[in-house]
Structures are given as C-alpha cells and as structure tokens.
C-alpha cells in the first residue's frame, strides 16, 4: 500500500505531512528518522494525519522531530496540515487533536492560516522544570562566568512543549549553534527545552532565533514564536499582539484576553508523492503539480 505525503514549509520550517487516514497504521521513531534522512522527505518536523479519535474533530495529528522524538506542538507544521485538510475537506475551518489537546485552525488561503495554539502554562511543574520557581517570568539560569554571564534569567513557558526565552539586544550576537545544545539538555529541563534568543524591536514586534529541541537551529518555530510573544507581554516588554520576525519569515501572534494564543502565517507546498513502507522506504514523487491554494 502506498501512503500519500506532501513536502511543505512554514516560513522556512521544513515540514513533511504524511496522510495515514487510509493506511491503518502509525509511524514509529525509526521510520521518522529514516524519512528525515531522505532528501525527498527530510524535515524539521514530520506531521502525520491520522483518523479522528474524538467526535467533532477532523483528524488526530502526531508530531516527530528529526531525531525521532515526539513533540506536543508545532505551529508551522499545524498550519501545513490545516492547509492540506482544508483543501481535502473543501472548507476553511479544521479541528485537529494532538497529544497536547485540540487545535482549531482556519485556512483562509495559503498565505493566511490562523491556528489557535491553546493556552500557555507558566507554573514550574507544567513547563516542566526540575526544581520550584515561584516566578517563571525570569528563572535563575545562566551560561558563562557567574559575574559576567553570556546569557541569563530566561522566561520559561509551556506552549505544547517547554520553551526558554533569553532576552538580548541582538539575536545575532550569540553563537546559538554552540550554546543551544547545552541549554536544551540543561538539568533544569527534565524534558529538554526549545531555546530562543528574543530581541524586542518595538512594542509590537520581536526578532527571534531558535534552537529547537530535537532539531537544532531552525529557520522558524511557531510554538517558540508564541512562547516569546506571551513571555514578552507577560513581562511588559510588548503588547499582546506582536509580529515575530524569524530567519525564515514573519508570524503574527495574538495573546487574547481569554488566554488563547492565535498564530497567523503562511504555508507552502514544495512537492507531493507517495511512500511504500517496508524494510526499505520507497519514495515516489507525484507527476502532478501541487494543488493551488
């Protein structure tokens, strides 16, 4: 049996969407790693579309990182899945279920897809952290000499997965490829963490650079953009609606009064194809161009 897939991206975040609704199977970590190693299916995140498990939802979505680990949230990947399903279902509104809960998405067009990313969690056990902190707007964590740290006092929040945001004057002034792995695996984060450098450029805008848990440096991370926007508003650095500039492009994040986070941005198709899964994985690219959005 062949399984359809779409290679996509959300502002440079490489996404592979695998449609398992008719396959009668799920993917495992080893298969995800093998797909990540193939240039035709390589990804920052692999999103699987599975049959719905809860009445009123359109699909269950599982998220893998390149190392085969699983993620509770991927904003850019969710926009890609929303675009695929909205075209398939011929309607703009899509309800997705993940291990972290329900996500509501509206795909007005490929250029404008909005996802309700749910509510942030700020209490230290829910992030989670390995020790108590009464105030997670800034925790005691630093890299470098104690009297002159390179980075210190990050804001921490869970937006489907753990995030630490370090506030800096210039996101390009630090070698995140070097310090990101150390911080991702710091003992304070028992489930590891996504590490962001955030620069406030105005009351309504941020620049962001992200080391993504299980992936590494990435052109974009939607949940990190949500985490940074919420943390910026919570610490009084910005208002509750901000444009977040990442190396791959721009996302608009709104932290509504009801505590829900709305993320708006584009998604794009690169190519489509089919997979034949066995001892080896046969990848066949489709002869037809992507469906226009």
Residue written as token pair 């080896």: 280
User: Is residue 291 domain-resident?
Assistant: no
**Residue 238 belongs to a domain:** yes
Q: How far apart are CA 11 and CA 74, in angstroms?
A: 13
293 belongs to a structural domain? no
Residue 31 lies in a domain: yes
Report whether pLDDT(146) > 70. Answer: yes
Model pLDDT, residue 287: 57
Same domain, 132 and 252: yes
For residue 289, what pLDDT is reported?
52
In a domain, 275, yes or no: yes
Active site residue 221: yes
Which DSSP letter does residue 33 get?
H
Q: What is the DSSP string of 225-249?
A: HHHHHHHHHHTTSS-SEEEEEETTE
User: 153 and 49 share a domain?
Assistant: no
pTM of the model: 0.91
Give yes or no: residues 224 and 130 share one domain.
Answer: yes
- Asked if the structure places residue 139 within a domain, the reply is yes
Total of domains in the chain: 2
Judge if 45 and 152 occupy the same domain: no
Residue 292 falls inside a structural domain = no
Q: Judge if 205 and 113 occupy the same domain.
A: no
Better pLDDT: 33 or 101: 33
Which residues span the domain enclosing 212?
Answer: 124-259
pLDDT classification of 145: cutoffs 50, 70, 90? confident
Averaged over 178-206, what is the pLDDT? 97
> Based on the domain organization, do 145 and 250 belong to the same domain?
yes
The catalytically annotated residue of 74, 188, 230, 245 is 74
**pLDDT of 293:** 45
pLDDT digits (tens, 9 = 90+) for 52-68: 999 999 999 999 999 99
With a pLDDT cut of 90, the percent of the chain lying above it is 86
Do residue 245 and residue 229 come from a single domain? Answer: yes
The verdict on 34 and 101 lying in the same domain is yes
Q: Residue 288: is its pLDDT beyond 80?
A: no
Closest C-alpha among 247, 257, 202 to residue 225: 247
CATH number at residue 141: 3.10.310.10
Question: Catalytic: which of 165, 221, 232, 246?
Answer: 221
Average pLDDT value for the chain: 94
Is 16 in the same domain as 113? yes
pLDDT tens per residue, range 166-182: 999 999 999 999 999 99
Residues 212 and 277 reside in one and the same domain: no
Nearest CA among 252, 140, 121 for reference residue 186 = 140
Is residue 247 a part of any domain in this protein? yes
pLDDT value of position 292 = 47
Query: How many angstroms separate the CA atoms of 94 and 67, rounded?
Result: 28
């Amino acid at each position: 049996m062949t399984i359809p897939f779409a290679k996509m991206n959300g502002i440079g975040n490489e996404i592979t969407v695998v449609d398992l609704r008719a396959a009668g199977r799920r993917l495992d970590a080893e298969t995800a790693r093998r797909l990540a190693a193939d240039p035709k299916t390589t990804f920052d995140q692999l999103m699987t579309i599975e049959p719905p498990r809860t009445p009123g939802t359109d699909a269950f979505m599982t998220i893998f990182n390149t190392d085969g680990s699983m993620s509770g949230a991927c904003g850019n990947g969710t926009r890609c899945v929303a675009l695929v399903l909205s075209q398939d279902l011929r309607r703009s509104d899509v309800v997705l279920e993940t291990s972290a809960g329900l996500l509501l998405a509206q795909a007005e067009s490929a250029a404008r897809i909005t996802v309700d990313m749910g509510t942030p969690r700020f209490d230290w056990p829910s992030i989670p952290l390995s020790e108590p902190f009464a105030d997670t707007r800034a925790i005691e964590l630093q890299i470098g000499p104690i009297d002159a740290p390179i980075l210190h006092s990050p804001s921490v929040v869970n937006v489907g997965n753990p995030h630490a945001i370090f506030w800096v004057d210039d996101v390009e002034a630090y070698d995140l490829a070097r310090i990101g792995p150390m911080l991702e695996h710091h003992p304070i984060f028992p489930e590891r963490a996504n590490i962001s450098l955030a620069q406030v450029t105005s009351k309504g805008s941020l620049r962001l650079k992200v080391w993504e848990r299980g992936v590494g440096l990435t052109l974009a991370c939607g949940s990190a953009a949500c985490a940074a926007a919420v943390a910026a508003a919570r610490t009084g650095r910005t208002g509750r609606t901000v444009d977040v500039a990442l190396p791959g492009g721009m996302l608009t994040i709104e932290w509504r009064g009801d505590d829900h986070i709305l993320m708006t941005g584009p998604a794009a198709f690169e190519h489509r194809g089919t997979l034949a899964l066995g001892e080896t994985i046969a990848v066949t690219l489709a002869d037809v161009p992507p469906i226009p959005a």
